[in-house]
Structure 1
Amino acid sequence: MKTRKTILIVDNNSGLENLVREPLGEQFRNSDISPVVVRAKDGAEAAIKTENQKFDVVLIDTEVPRLMDGGFVYGLHTYKNTQDANLIVVTQRESHDLPDTLRSSVLLKKPVTTEDLIKAMMKCLNQSEASGASAPPSAAKYAVDVRVINAIIKATLNVFAQFGVQNISMGKAEAKSPHDALLGEISSVVEIKSQSYQGYLAISFDKACYLEVVSTMLMEEQTELNSENQDAVGEINNIIFGNAKSEITNFGVQLTVPKVLMGAGSVIACAAGSAGMSIPFSTTKGRFYLKVIAVPVAK
């Protein structure tokens, strides 16, 4: 009986898929491996496909939409269905311009040939077969529910727009140590649990941004962080989760009551082997951050 090996190709115009599908099948026709190709047209669709299907190899074109500026590539080693996958990256970029999660991949510079792709594919598939698709030693055994993170991002932007906060822009998500201090001066932290995710979400504000948000929320100008307005950060968190509730409750998510952390340098205590991701935002007056921490989940 042949061993099924599933390949996710993230490619918006089917170019990579057309290059490899038939030649790959031919290469493994008389082997013990049966390759199955699945395509996603962008980073968002790739994240959805990885929710319900395990992949042995992920082939990425870094120029596809909603990929490099979203959370998908930054959590490849955290999603339960790609954390063991071998990665092949087709790019015009230099390795130092890629996220850390992609730098250890098999990198192929454009323009890429069928021969190059098939050679890389065969190497990755044969490696996963020989090793039992074990994860790299440095890869932590945890999983992030990307649907929850995306729902929280959308709710955050919606809520702040309702508060009247203007010109919010979202920066690039980056892998960050979960043990690093939070970047803001006032933060709100909740514990999140779902079937595929266990960890923490922190919303952290610098002083100028927090005073901007809380002033619009309380409809009264706030000029300093004090005991009278510090609890508003927890209420902001509650409003955001309430806004996202219609989506995240479908994912079996459980949340704790927000905990307020005052002062720069606050740290979230988490287990060894955890991983973190930070998403920066800016407004006209300051910056705020969403930090996601995933902790090891028992298998």
Structure 2
Amino acid sequence: MKQRKNILIVDNNCELEQLVKEPLLKQLENSGVAPVVIRAKDGAEAAIKSENQKFDMVLIDTEVPRLMDGGFVYGIHTYKNTQDADLIVISQKDASDLPESLRSSRFFKKPVSPAELISAMITVLNAEHHGTAAREPATAAAAHKYAVDVRVINAVIKATTHVLGQFGCPNVKMEKAGPKSPNDPFLGEVSSVVEIRSQAFQGHLCISFDKGSFLEVVSTMLMEEQTELTQDNQDAVGEINNIIFGNAKAEISSYGVQMTVPKVILGAGQSIPCSQGAAGMMIPFATSKGKFYITVVALPMAKVA
């Protein structure tokens, strides 16, 4: 009986899929592997497809749209459906210019030799089938069995932009996401943290506002112009983030994820100590008067009771 292997190809113009699909199926026809090739046209669609299906291999063309400005690439080794996938990257850039999460992949500089690419894919798939594939983690975190569900991050992003829009920040712009050391200080001055946990994940989420973005939101909330951080207006961050996480909770709970009550942390340079092997990702946002940051930190599942 053949072993099914799901392959996600992130390719906006079908060229990569057309290049490898037919030769791959033909050369593996008499093997014990049955490859199933699925294409995503950009990074956003790749994130959606990986929410619902586990992939054994991900083949990425780094020039596709909406790939480097979202969470898919930066969290690929911690999402539950791609954390164990072998990663093959094709790019016009040098490997050293890629995000850290892609640097330990099997890398091909364009123009790529179709024969070499297909040979690499077949080698990996056959080796996995016989139990001999060796994976090198792209980050220290990949050595541990845990996963960040991209749906949780998306739910928090959606709730944050919705709530801040109601509080007078309609032009919130998401900037380029990237990896973050879990022990680095928060970049904002007023932060709120919730612990989150599921069968496949434990860690925390943080929303951290800098002075400008926080005063922008709290001025609308208190219906009075706020020009400085004070004890009185800092207390409002708890209420703001209670509303944000409350908006996200129903969706997050439907994925089997539990979350605690938000904890407010005041002051710049604050951090939460994390155990060795933790991994983090940060998504910055810009408002008309400042920035705020959503950070997700994953802890090794060995710590789960």
TM over 0.5, shorter chain: yes
**1:149 aligned residue:** 153
Does the CA-based 8 Å contact 2:32-2:129 persist in structure 1?
no
CA deviations on 1:126-153 (whole Å, 9 max, x unpaired) are 4434555565354232200101101111
Secondary structure of the structure 2 residue equivalent to 1:209: helix
SS at match of 1:228: helix
Q: Which digits, 9 at most, give the CA deviation of each residue in 1:69-98, with x for residues without a partner?
A: 111111111012221211111222232332
Aligned counterpart, 2:105: 105
2-side partners of 1:135 and 1:119: how far apart? Answer: 17
TM-score with structure 1 setting the length: 0.92
Equivalent residue pairs, number: 299
Q: Which SS does the other structure have where 2:233 is aligned? A: coil
Say if 2:10 and 2:64, in contact at 8 Å, map to a contact too.
Answer: yes
After TM superposition, the structure 1 stretch with the greater mean CA deviation from structure 2, 148-157 or 89-98, is 89-98
Q: Distance in 1 between matches of 2:60 and 2:270?
A: 36
Distance 1:180 1:131, change over 3 A: farther
Contact 1:5 1:35 in 2 (8 A): yes
Which residue pairs with 2:63 in the alignment? 63
Which residue is 2:211 aligned to?
Answer: 207
Deviates more, 1:30-39 or 1:149-158: 30-39
- Residue among 283, 293, 302 paired with 1:289: 293
Is contact 1:86–1:128 with CA below 8 Å preserved after alignment?
no
Query: Structure 1: 5+ residue runs without aligned partners?
Result: none
Deviation at 1:28, TM superposition (A): 1.8
Aligned equivalent of 1:28 = 28
Q: Which amino acid aligns with 2:273?
A: A
The percent of aligned pairs where both chains have the same amino acid is 67
CA distance in structure 2 between the aligned counterparts of 1:132 and 1:235, rounded to whole angstroms: 52
- Superposed counterparts of 1:110-129, under 5 Å: 110-129=110-129
After superposition, the C-alpha distances for 1:36-63 in whole angstroms (9 at most, x for unaligned) are 2122222233223323432221101122
Counterpart residue number, 2:166: 162
1:240 is paired with a residue whose SS is helix
Equivalent of residue 271 in structure 2, options 267, 279, 291: 267
Q: What is the TM-score with the length of structure 2 in the denominator? A: 0.90
Residues 176-206 of structure 1: CA distance to partner in whole angstroms, max 9, x if unpaired?
A: 1111111111110011123433211111111
Contact 2:186–2:269 (8 Å) recurs in 1: yes
Corresponding residue of 2:48: 48
Contact 1:173/1:280 (CA < 8 Å) preserved in 2?
yes
Determine if contact 2:104/2:136 at 8 Å carries over to the other structure.
no
2:180 is matched by which residue type in structure 1?
A: K
- Determine the structure 2 residue equivalent to 1:184: 188
Name the SS of the counterpart of 2:301 in structure 1: coil
Cα drift, residue 266 of structure 1:
0.9
Asked if 1:171 is matched to 2:198, the reply is no
User: Matches of 2:74 and 2:170 in 1, distance apart?
Assistant: 28
Distance in 1 (alpha carbons) for counterparts of 2:127 and 2:282: 32
- Once superposed, what is the RMSD of the aligned Cα atoms? 2.1
One-letter code of the match for 2:93?
A: R
Distance 1:228 1:288 in 2: 20
Q: Which runs of 5+ in 2 are unaligned?
A: none
Q: Note if contact 2:78-2:148 (Cα within 8 Å) is conserved in structure 1.
A: yes
Equivalent position amino acid for 1:241 in 2: F
Q: Is contact 1:84–1:134 with CA below 8 Å preserved after alignment?
A: no
